[in-house]
Amino acid sequence: MNVNISYTSEKPMYEQIEDSIKKDIFEGRLKNNEMLPSVRQLAKDLNVSAITTKRAYMDLERDGLIYTIAGKGTFVKADDIGNIQSAAHQKAIEEFDKAARQAKEYGIEKKALEGVLDEIYGGSENE
């Protein structure tokens, strides 16, 4: 597992940790039932507070991506990853729809939004 965080990012560190672990799960780098580092070990490795890593783990557990067994550790729960990804995709599309409609109301042109999407996705070669 390779968690990268930016100490200068405006995004909270716990969200950066969550996003990194989610990405590894969704892309198959973390497998079902694979053990994750302990809260303390991950905090030490990332040079952050244990509270920060605990928050990330709690959110991931709430989202159904990991589970904890007292005295044994925290593990990846990727057996139902298809349904979790489906729900995440649906949520993202709903949020995008809302944002696009709001942009239209504010008079933002479609070309400007396309430019933002190209920037996010790394240009038109990723269409």
Instruction: Yes or no: say if 64 and 84 are a contact pair by the CB < 8 Å rule.
Output: yes
Contact 81, 25 (CB under 8 A): yes
The position carrying tokens 């696009």 is 100
- pTM of the entire predicted model: 0.71
Question: 21 near 60, Cβ under 8 Å?
Answer: yes
Question: What residue ranges do the domains of the chain occupy?
Answer: 13-76, 81-126
Tokens 């944002």 -> residue: 99
**pLDDT tens string 55-109:** 999 999 998 899 999 999 999 998 877 777 788 788 889 999 999 999 999 999 9
Among the CATH numbers 1.10.940.10, 1.10.10.10, 3.90.245.10, 2.60.40.3880, which is that of 13-76? Answer: 1.10.10.10
